[in-house]
Amino acid sequence: MNTTENEKPCLVEAKQGFSVSYKNKLLYSKYNPQITVEKSLENLQITEGTLILVNSPVLGYGIEILIKKLPKNSVIIAIEKDKNLFEFSKTVDKSFFYKNTNLQNLFYFNIQSEKEVIELLTNKNFTKIISCCKRVVKINLCAIPIEYEKFYQDAEFLFSNYISQFWKNRITLVKLGKLYSKNILLNLPKIANSKEIIYNYIQKPILVFGAGTSLDTTLNQFNLLNIDINNFFIICVDSAVKSLLKYGINPQIVIAVESQIANEKAFIGIKNKEYLLISDLTSRPNINKNHKNVSYIFTNFTNSNFLDSINQLNLPIKNFLPLGSVGLYAIDLAIKLRKENSPIFFTGLDFSFTVENTHCKNAPARIFKQNTSNRINSLINVNSAFKVGSSTFKINENQIFTDKALINYATQFKEIFSTIDNLFNLSDISLFNEKNFNCNKIKNIFPKEIFAISKFYNLTSKINIENYTKQVDDKNLIQIKKFIINEIDSLNDIKNKLTYGNTSTENLVKKINQHDYLFIHFPDGNIGANENISFLKRVRNEIDFFLKILNRSLNQFEE
């Protein structure tokens, strides 16, 4: 059999069946291509909840075998990088895909870059399809994946990472999803009296303070160098605000994104301060109530019809990606606020800690440790430093510790911000100082270098809250009130239908899906509303809780 130079793929006869010739290469065996592929899949065991990633299927040999083996809650995602091969496999009559274009649990995409993989994984309709999967199995069905080896390896990593992160998020959602929804509903009326932040305004250098132990070291060095950091625009995380105030530093912005009651400890004893509180809609409502200057942001923490309905209100709030760590939110906010790439310096975002301390002075965690220490509970952080999953590295002969959660946040930091210009790390114990975790774009510098970088900017100009925020229009009050009243009416309607059964189950399930805050925190909440009697009973119990919350929210308009 002869093969010819060809720029486009073409069928060629094998001894039994057909192979494909492309760019002077045979993509399958020249003897019996179909049998060869199918034999390689004979012993393949596929467990429930598997995403089978088929790289370059071309003629689709072996796909039927995979479909027959496919267990419950599993899907086949076929990816072709080469556009010519993708078009060929969809149009040539010997291809499996020529006649099988609408098979359930089989999807075929022409994806040519990592960016397109990410776009697919952020598509709400697609993520619903693979939300049942718990693992990825990669299968190569022809010779092409060897030619694009890096692309297919990266694609597999992105799919695996997405699924891993999805289930981590599910665990968080089961624990906190109900609280998130509750806080959103209670915070909504407060938007009408809030301020909206203005992006790309701050031309001064920005200092971002986390609550890690390096904050104290950096501030002490600033004092020794007689650097007045009140001349910078200062953003800090909630756990660091008391520490900064003790040092006589007044932040312009404090950011709080945590939903739990423990977060209120960061603000105990703080009154009448002029900073702007940036608060997520899922944040603790009591914190927002005790601040006169609040600006709200909104995080789409999961794919949800409820969150979509909030977005459709077009409220004067800024959308943020779900970043997990408040420190990452602070950096993201600084990038959005700065003008003309003015420098951003950060410290206290260490993603590591020492055996002596995990947080800066006056941080709630540090105060709690001091207050509860005794002969049994030492001030030394033995539990944190030597727990399962912790690891250690050395900086200037000092032993520094980190753990899996902190490494994940640091990795996320690098992935999101590694292309950002003028981002400077002042921390002396940061995970970014560790040689194997260094990021070229994020520059590690000493505090004494800060003025050499900042001297081109006007450090003495004063910026007031009114400069980088605007008051929210009162018309939002009516819109939010209408939304809450509609939610109350809808929940009462669902409650009535569940109690008396005066509607079809299909219509009832459809209506429950529109108010999915009723069930997104269920362990099985990711599969959506269904007709299962156990599911409907649990929803009925949740309705009473959320009706109380909605009525509390509505009462705020009368206060």
Q: Is residue 126 part of a domain?
A: yes
At residue 471, the 3 state secondary structure works out as strand
At 185 the pLDDT is 96
1 pLDDT band, cuts 50/70/90, is very low
Amino acid at 322: P
Cα(392)–Cα(429) distance, integer angstroms: 11
Task: Please give the share of the chain, as a percent, with pLDDT higher than 70.
Answer: 95
At 26 the pLDDT is 83
Q: Is residue 541 part of a domain?
A: yes
Mean pLDDT (whole number) for 17-34? 83
Q: Is residue 544 part of a domain?
A: yes
User: Of 117, 147, 177, which residue constitutes the final position of a domain?
Assistant: 147
542 pLDDT band, cuts 50/70/90, is very high
Q: Is the model more confident about 228 or about 447? A: 447
**55 touches 20 (CB < 8 A):** no
Q: In the sheet that 25-26 helps form, which strands lie side by side, from edge to edge?
A: 10-13, 18-22, 25-26
**483 touches 539 (CB < 8 A):** no
At residue 280, the 3 state secondary structure works out as strand
4 pLDDT band, cuts 50/70/90, is very low
Cα(189)–Cα(476) distance, integer angstroms: 9
Q: Which domain holds residue 73?
A: 10-147
* Count of domains for the chain: 2
Backbone phi, then psi, for 396, in 5-degree steps? 50, 45
Mean pLDDT (whole number) for 70-77? 90
373: its two tokens: 């220490």
DSSP 338: B
305 pLDDT band, cuts 50/70/90, is very high
Q: Is the model more confident about 43 or about 320? A: 320
Q: Residues 6 or more apart from 306 whose CB is under 8 A from it?
A: 181, 515, 516, 517, 520
339: its two tokens: 């003008």
Amino acid at 288: N
At 296 the pLDDT is 95
Q: Residues 6 or more apart from 97 whose CB is under 8 A from it?
A: 57, 60, 89, 90, 108
Q: Is residue 175 part of a domain?
A: no
At 375 the pLDDT is 65
Q: What is the mean pLDDT of the chain?
A: 87
pLDDT in tens, 264-275: 888 888 877 889
- Return the sign of the alpha-carbon dihedral for residues 165, 166, 172, 178: positive
**59 touches 12 (CB < 8 A):** no
Asked if the model's pLDDT at residue 417 lies above 50, the reply is yes
Asked if the model's pLDDT at residue 5 lies above 50, the reply is no
Report the run of H or E that residue 493 belongs to, with start and end: helix 475-500
Asked if the model's pLDDT at residue 195 lies above 90, the reply is yes
Q: Is residue 283 part of a domain?
A: no
pLDDT in tens, 441-476: 788 899 989 988 888 887 778 888 999 999 888 788
27: its two tokens: 């993509």
Cα(255)–Cα(283) distance, integer angstroms: 10
Q: Residues 6 or more apart from 276 whose CB is under 8 A from it?
A: 195, 197, 252, 253, 254, 293, 294, 295, 465, 469
pLDDT in tens, 491-511: 999 999 998 877 778 889 999
Cα(515)–Cα(307) distance, integer angstroms: 10
At 317 the pLDDT is 93
Backbone phi, then psi, for 355, in 5-degree steps? -70, -25
At 385 the pLDDT is 61
User: Of 94, 115, 147, which residue constitutes the final position of a domain?
Assistant: 147
Q: Is residue 176 part of a domain?
A: no
**518 touches 512 (CB < 8 A):** yes
Cα(239)–Cα(241) distance, integer angstroms: 6
Asked if the model's pLDDT at residue 85 lies above 80, the reply is yes
User: Of 90, 119, 147, which residue constitutes the final position of a domain?
Assistant: 147
313 pLDDT band, cuts 50/70/90, is very high
Is the pTM for the entire model greater than 0.95?
Answer: no
**CATH number of the domain encompassing residue 62:** 3.40.50
At 23 the pLDDT is 82
pLDDT in tens, 124-155: 788 878 888 999 999 988 888 888 889 999 99
At 379 the pLDDT is 62
**230 touches 252 (CB < 8 A):** no
Q: Is the model more confident about 263 or about 389? A: 263
